[in-house]
């Protein structure tokens, strides 16, 4: 029985190891966010920082790694993050970051908009032209 539990524990540990993907935070290469600090990135995703060097910041999120990004970088759960944004919308009338379904959507927007910032999983991210990776989250 003990061996069975140990085996199950190993499988679950292996699962979490396999599914924890490296996350890259990306910005437009020509935009003002290339030197943004970690603290300011957190403020952006919480709606507390909306401009950099006079440019409006457009944060976007990738659905498939959102949970991991929130827990490992922002330090919150998706539930608390939703509650935070319910309050923020109600208080300040601003919109939460748009959540994109695919890496291509995030990359396309970051390329197009000078003030865009997004995150993607390392796997499947190929097109780096006009994009700067400003942080890698392991």
Give the torsion sign (CA, 130, 113, 56, 50): negative
Please select the residue that binds another protein; options are 8, 12, 14, 98, rule is CB under 8 A.
Answer: 98
Q: Select the span of 17-25, 96-104, 114-122, 128-136 touching another protein (CB under 8 A).
A: 96-104
Q: Does 5 bind another protein (CB under 8 A)?
A: no
Q: How far is the CB of 98 from another protein (least distance, A)?
A: 6
121, 122, 74: which is closest to 100 by C-alpha?
A: 121
Q: Is 82 in the site for another protein (CB under 8 A)?
A: yes
List of residues contacting another protein (CB under 8 A): 39, 48-51, 54, 56, 79, 82-83, 85-87, 89-96, 98-99
């Amino acid at each position: 029985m003990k061996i069975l539990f140990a085996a199950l524990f190993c499988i679950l540990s292996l699962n979490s190891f396999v599914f924890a993907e490296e996350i890259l935070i990306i910005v437009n290469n020509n935009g003002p966010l290339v030197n943004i600090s970690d603290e300011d990135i957190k403020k952006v995703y919480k709606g507390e920082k909306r401009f950099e060097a006079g440019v409006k910041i457009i944060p976007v999120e990738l659905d498939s790694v959102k949970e991991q990004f929130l827990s490992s970088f922002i330090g919150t759960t998706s539930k608390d993050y939703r509650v935070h944004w319910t309050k923020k919308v109600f208080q300040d009338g601003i919109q939460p970051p748009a959540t994109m379904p695919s890496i291509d959507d995030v990359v396309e927007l970051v390329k197009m908009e000078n003030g865009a910032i997004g995150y993607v999983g390392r796997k499947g991210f190929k097109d780096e032209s006009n994009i700067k990776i400003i942080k890698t989250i392991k």
